[in-house]
């Protein structure tokens, strides 16, 4: 157990290190000039050379990469995430505000796409080749081929512009002070982006679950369950679901990374102030400190997701849980038997 913890902590630290280095290298080799990107086009053209030099100094374009990284890393070790040059505020503050917006969006999408996708996938597999299967499969294939941002635009046109049911963008109504903000307002602003993210995620999960469930239907234990007189649904309920839980968990936690990618696009479309849109701004503006912090948070989330999946594997699968005990017992017995 101790070695398991130690190994994972070490892996986690290495992952963070590699991610932060990569972000700084990418920002430094980006062809975009941060000075040009972060000021108005007209302002840039009329700007005096001294002013430009001053701004270049502010953005650190002349400081070597390793120096910038060392500076950031030193601060990071002291728990200081640095200052976002673009937002002119501490990175921690910028992120704290946006993290909860994104988190709400991603959790809703994660749960919805997971539950719906799993249910649809199982349903399609049980009704293999039938009408229901073809409908579900067709729906998923069309959605899987649909870019998230395009779907977001379509939903916006239908539900916000034409029908007017939902706001066109942002996470809060325009012109409302934060004191007057109700949870209902936040929810109304959340629904369309969350729906876009979920709908796209559903297709992926449903198609994968369907494949896995078809494999399970072919497996010997499933066939035998049917031979014992269970209907396909009964066999699926009794034996299929628990065996499908493991692949579904893996998929669900791997989906965290996908969701992060998807949320970047969706937040752009809906002007939703989450981490995703902040990442785009930071990336285009050469704001290395902010980008590094966002990358670290997403890497940590994905790592955590995979770790949880790994731990749950051991809880759910008796072959891992009991097998380990049995092996340990055998090893101990073997050690006692062995001549010292």
Q: Which stretch binds other proteins (CB under 8 A): 72-80, 155-163, 312-320, 328-336?
A: 312-320
List residues bridging with 89 in a β-sheet: 84
319 binds other proteins (CB under 8 A): yes
Tell me, what DSSP letter sits at residue 166? S
Q: How far is the CB of 217 from other proteins (least distance, A)?
A: 12
Q: Are strands 83-84 and 89-90 parallel, antiparallel or unpaired?
A: antiparallel
Q: Which is nearer to other proteins, 280 or 320 (CB)?
A: 320
Q: How far is the CB of 222 from other proteins (least distance, A)?
A: 8
317 binds other proteins (CB under 8 A): yes
Q: How far is the CB of 337 from other proteins (least distance, A)?
A: 20
Site for other proteins in 199-228 (CB under 8 A): 220-221, 223-228
Q: Which stretch binds other proteins (CB under 8 A): 58-66, 77-85, 138-146, 235-243?
A: 235-243
- Range 273-278, long-range pairs (CB < 8 A, 24+ positions): 273/97, 273/98, 273/101, 273/170, 273/171, 274/98, 274/101, 274/102, 274/105, 274/171, 275/95, 275/98, 275/99, 275/101, 275/102, 276/102, 277/98, 278/94, 278/95, 278/98
Per-residue contact track with other proteins, 165 to 204, x per CB under 8 A? ----------------------------------------
Q: How far is the CB of 237 from other proteins (least distance, A)?
A: 8
Q: How far is the CB of 334 from other proteins (least distance, A)?
A: 18
323 binds other proteins (CB under 8 A): yes
318 binds other proteins (CB under 8 A): yes
Q: State how far the Cα of 281 lies from the Cα of 32, in Å rounded to an integer.
A: 12
Q: Which is nearer to other proteins, 235 or 264 (CB)?
A: 235
Tell me, what DSSP letter sits at residue 6? H
**Nearest residue to 241 (alpha-carbon basis) of 316, 134, 318:** 316
Q: Which is nearer to other proteins, 28 or 310 (CB)?
A: 310
**Nearby residues of 205 by Cβ (< 8 Å), 6 or more positions away:** 113, 114, 116, 117, 118, 121, 248, 251, 252, 255
H-run or E-run covering 90: strand 89-90
Which residues contact other proteins by CB under 8 A?
220-221, 223-230, 234, 237-239, 242-243, 316-319, 322-323, 326
């Amino acid at each position: 157990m101790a070695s398991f913890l130690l190994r994972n902590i070490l892996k986690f630290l290495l992952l963070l290190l590699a991610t932060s280095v990569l972000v700084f290298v990418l920002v430094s080799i980006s062809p975009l000039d941060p000075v040009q990107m972060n000021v108005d086009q007209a302002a840039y053209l009329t700007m005096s050379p001294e002013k430009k030099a001053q701004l270049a100094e502010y953005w650190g374009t002349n400081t070597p990469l390793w120096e910038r990284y060392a500076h950031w890393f030193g601060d990071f070790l002291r728990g200081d995430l640095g200052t976002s040059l673009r937002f002119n505020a501490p990175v921690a503050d910028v992120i704290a505000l946006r993290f909860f917006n994104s988190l709400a969006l991603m959790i809703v999408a994660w749960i919805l796409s997971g539950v719906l996708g799993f249910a649809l996938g199982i349903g399609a597999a049980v009704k293999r080749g039938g009408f229901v299967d073809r409908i579900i499969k067709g729906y998923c294939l069309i959605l899987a081929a649909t870019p998230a941002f395009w779907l977001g635009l379509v939903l916006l046109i239908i539900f916000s512009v034409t029908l007017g049911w939902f706001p066109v963008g942002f996470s809060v109504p325009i012109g409302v002070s934060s004191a007057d903000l109700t949870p209902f307002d936040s929810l109304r602003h959340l629904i369309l982006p969350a729906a876009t993210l979920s709908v796209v995620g559903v297709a992926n999960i449903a198609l994968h679950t369907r494949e896995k469930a078809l494999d399970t239907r072919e497996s010997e234990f499933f066939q035998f369950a049917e031979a014992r007189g269970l209907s396909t649904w009964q066999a699926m309920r009794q034996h299929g679901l628990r065996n499908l839980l493991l692949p579904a968990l893996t998929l669900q936690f791997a989906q965290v990374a996908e969701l992060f990618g998807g949320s970047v696009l969706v937040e752009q479309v809906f002007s939703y102030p989450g981490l995703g849109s902040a990442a785009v701004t930071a990336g285009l503006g050469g704001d290395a400190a902010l980008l590094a912090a966002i990358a670290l948070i997403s890497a940590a989330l994905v790592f955590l997701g995979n770790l949880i999946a790994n731990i749950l594997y051991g809880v759910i699968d008796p072959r891992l849980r009991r097998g380990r005990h049995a092996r340990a017992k055998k090893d101990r017995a073997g050690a006692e038997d062995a001549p010292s």
